[in-house]
Amino acid sequence: MKKEKFKIDFPSDEEIARQISFIVKEGLPKKETFIKQVYTIYQQLGFRFLFPNITELTFISILIAIFLFTTGLQAREYFEAESGSVYTFIFVTSPVVYLVICSFSWYHMWDNRTYELEMTCKYDLFQLTAVRMLAFSIFCFALNTVFIIAMVNSYHHISFVKAFLISTTGLFLFSTLTLLVLMNNKSKIIKISLLVGWIAVNLFAFIWSKNFYLLVLNNISISVYAVINVSLVVLYIKHLQKMMQFRKTEGVA
């Protein structure tokens, strides 16, 4: 009795490629957008865990804003004599609240020994830091806008649009520099130098070459400031996205 021969129909190369593509697509986790990642972290962890010291941060921010506004009023004679100097004041002080609340948040984390714990959680330190820095920058942007409105009402010779763009430039320039240092340097000294040195460097530049400094800030057109702002915001968001993808072994501190 003859045995029957089974004929196996092998799939074509196109079918094999299609099946492999399907398996890879279904097997790998779908890549979420940055906004979706932020929302997922917020939804799963909650506001209280992401910002455990929000009361202190809000109180400190309001105090700093009041102090800066009072300082701006005390310098009325100087600002009115040097018409462009108020823009310098706005540029230099725009990231101060961001600087302080970021520093306070990091200090709170290290002081309470939560650094090692957060590095071992489902969402590690880098992802939490990215979400917090995004929230801090949005908060400071809103606070700076209120500050600019108050300054414009006090000094009628300054332009709201120009003051707003200069303030936003200072804020996101400093924020982006902070991210670059956090992601590319592990030295605490360099990080502290960045946080402390912003105001010192700007004040030194202003005192050393006041005319040049005022010339640069005051002669840049509004359209150029707008382009700079958009570029800095895009760069800032991209670096936040990179920080979200950082591995736990990289280390921030």
Residue 84 one-letter amino acid: G
User: Rounded distance, CA 112 to CA 107, Å?
Assistant: 8
CB hemisphere CA count around 126 (13 angstroms): 19
**In contact, 119 and 248? CB cutoff 8 Å:** yes
| C-alpha separations of 189 from 186, 194, 197 in Å | 9, 9, 11
User: Rounded distance, CA 10 to CA 15, Å?
Assistant: 10
Q: Give me the residue spans of the domains in the chain.
A: 32-244
pLDDT tens, residue order, the chain (253 aa): 455 555 666 666 677 677 777 676 665 556 677 788 888 888 887 777 778 778 888 888 888 888 888 888 888 777 777 767 788 888 888 888 888 888 787 777 665 555 544 444 566 677 888 888 889 999 999 999 999 999 888 888 888 999 999 999 999 998 888 888 777 765 556 656 666 676 677 767 666 656 667 777 778 888 999 999 999 999 999 888 888 876 544 444 4
Q: Tell me, what DSSP letter sits at residue 6?
A: P
DSSP-based three-state secondary structure for 58 = helix
Q: Closest by alpha carbon to 135, among 204, 20, 39?
A: 39
Residue 123 one-letter amino acid: Y
Give residue 135's region: left, alpha or beta (phi > 0; psi -120 to 50).
alpha
User: Rounded distance, CA 241 to CA 252, Å?
Assistant: 16
Q: What is the pLDDT of residue 249?
A: 43
Place of tokens 């490629």: 17
Q: Dmax over Cα atoms in the chain, in whole Å?
A: 114
What backbone torsions phi and psi does residue 221 show, to the nearest 5 degrees? Answer: -70, 160
21 Cβ partners below 8 Å, 6+ apart?
A: none
Q: What is the pLDDT of residue 92?
A: 83
Residue 196 one-letter amino acid: V
Tokens of 184: 């590319």
Q: What is the pTM of this model?
A: 0.76
Tokens of 20: 């492999």
Q: Closest by alpha carbon to 130, among 32, 228, 41, 59?
A: 41
